[in-house]
Amino acid sequence: MVFYFLQGVTLALSATIMPGPFQAFLLSQALKNGWKRTLPAALAPLVTDGPVIGLVLFVLTQTPAWFLDILRIAGGLFILYLSREGFLTFKNPAPALEPSSEAGRQTFLNAVVMNALNPNPYIFWSVVGVPIILTGWRESAGFGISFIAGFFGTFVCSLAALIIIFATAGRVDKRVSRILMGITAVALLVFGLYQVSTGITAVIT
């Protein structure tokens, strides 16, 4: 059981530190709204990945190959929208006001939408996560559950740590906050363009 738990921990740490659109979005929101309002967004994978695992198990194995490509294009367009919001904030930084609870709710909803449209969780669970879960489950249900617990426990906690560190660094100097916001906006733009272009390329070839 410990072996499966450690596999989950290791893969979660790898997923956290590997740059991606979801991480870039969380960090940009941490700079914009502060860590307290952004922290709930770290729970978004708990909302989205359950259905993703179910889709991998019961749907994706029976769907045509272009399904993930269409999903990639839709996710890329949404990332480009979020990048635009980041660039607007970079150009016209808002005054240092306490973010409203509505900002926190909107950040969480945007994080859920982004992760649901992001093909990376589908790819990860289809080629890595679900096979490990099924292998462990065949030996003992506890093995599969320990992998899931290790992965999601570590992933959520690591994302929360990144949000707090990034937001704190941005509060030290407003110039630092603005520079970091610009960097994350560019990162979102790159990820969005990449996902749209690769999705379109795969569909037309």
Domain ranges for the chain? 2-204
Of how many residues is the chain composed? 205
Nearest to 68 by CA among 128, 135, 129, 125: 125
- What is the pLDDT, as a whole number, of residue 204? 85
- What is the pLDDT, as a whole number, of residue 103? 60
Q: Say if CB 66 and CB 203 are below 8 A apart.
A: yes
Q: Structure pTM?
A: 0.67
Q: How many CB atoms lie within 10 A of CB 201?
A: 11
- What is the pLDDT, as a whole number, of residue 151? 92
List pLDDT tens digits, range 6-19: 888 988 887 776 66
Distances (CA, A) of 179 to 87, 166, 182, 190: 11, 12, 5, 17
Three-class SS state of 1: coil
Say which range, 46-55, 139-148, 181-190, has the weakest mean pLDDT.
181-190
Instruction: Please list, in sequence order, all residues whose beta carbon lies within 8 angstroms of the beta carbon of residue 101, skipping any fewer than 6 positions away.
Output: 37
Q: Say if CB 5 and CB 150 are below 8 A apart.
A: yes
Tokens of 134: 């099924």
